[in-house]
Amino acid sequence: MDSEYAVQELNSTISGFRSSIDTQMNQIDATTNRIQETTNEIYQSVSDFKKNMIKSEEVQLAHENLIRLDQVLKEQYGDYERIRKTVIGVVRDFDINLVRDKTIQELSEELWLTSSRYWLSYALIAVTAWVNDYPEVAANAVAEGTRRDRIKATLFFTLLNLRFGRNETARRWFTEYLKTLDPKCMQNEAAVMLQAYLSGVFGTDKALQAKVNATIEKWIGIINEDAEICRELVGDYAKYIANMQAPAQFDFVSIRQFCKNAQQIEGVYRDVSKFATLQAIVDSLDVPEIEQRPDNYKARVDAVLTDLISNYDQEEDEVRTQQQYFNLVIKNNGVVEDAQKQYDEMLRLKGEGFNVGRQLIGWVVYDDQQNTDVHVRKFALSQTKSWLIDAMNAYSDNIKQRTPTGYQLAIDGWEGVSNGNDQTAMEKSLKEYFDTHKLTMVYLTIPNVVAAVLAVLCAGLAFVSLYFLIGLGLGLIFLGVSIWRNLTAFPARVKAALQNLANTMQEIGAFQHSCAEGHSICAATIEKLNFNF
Q: What is the pLDDT of residues 165-190, one digit of tens each?
A: 888 888 888 888 888 876 666 666 67
Q: What's the Cα-to-Cα distance from 308 to each of 74, 179, 191, 361, 529, rounded to whole Å?
A: 20, 18, 9, 20, 28
The pLDDT score that the predictor gives to residue 515 is 92
Taking 50 as the pLDDT cut, the residues of the chain under it are: 1-3, 6-7, 9-10, 13-14, 17, 98-99, 352-354
Amino acid identity for residue 509 in this structure = G
β-sheet bridge partners, residue 417: 408
The pLDDT score that the predictor gives to residue 17 is 46
* Planar angle of CA 171, 177, 178, nearest 5 degrees: 95
Q: What's the Cα-to-Cα distance from 420 to each of 224, 326, 402, 405, rounded to whole Å?
A: 45, 41, 16, 8
Amino acid identity for residue 306 in this structure = T
The pLDDT score that the predictor gives to residue 521 is 93
The pLDDT score that the predictor gives to residue 99 is 47
Q: pLDDT by residue (tens digit) across 90-128? A: 777 666 554 455 555 555 555 555 556 777 778 877 877
Instruction: Tell me how far apart the alpha carbons of residues 251 and 247 are, in angstroms, rounded to a whole number.
Output: 12
The pLDDT score that the predictor gives to residue 527 is 93
pTM of structure: 0.67
The pLDDT score that the predictor gives to residue 251 is 85
Instruction: Tell me how far apart the alpha carbons of residues 255 and 510 are, in angstroms, rounded to a whole number.
Output: 11
Query: In this structure, what are the phi and psi dihedrals at residue 40, rounded to the nearest 5 degrees?
Result: -65, -40
Query: In this structure, what are the phi and psi dihedrals at residue 409, rounded to the nearest 5 degrees?
Result: -95, 145
Helix spans in 332-445 (H)? 336-350, 356-365, 374-402, 423-436, 438-442
- Classify 467 in phi/psi space as left (phi over 0), alpha (psi -120 to 50) or beta: alpha
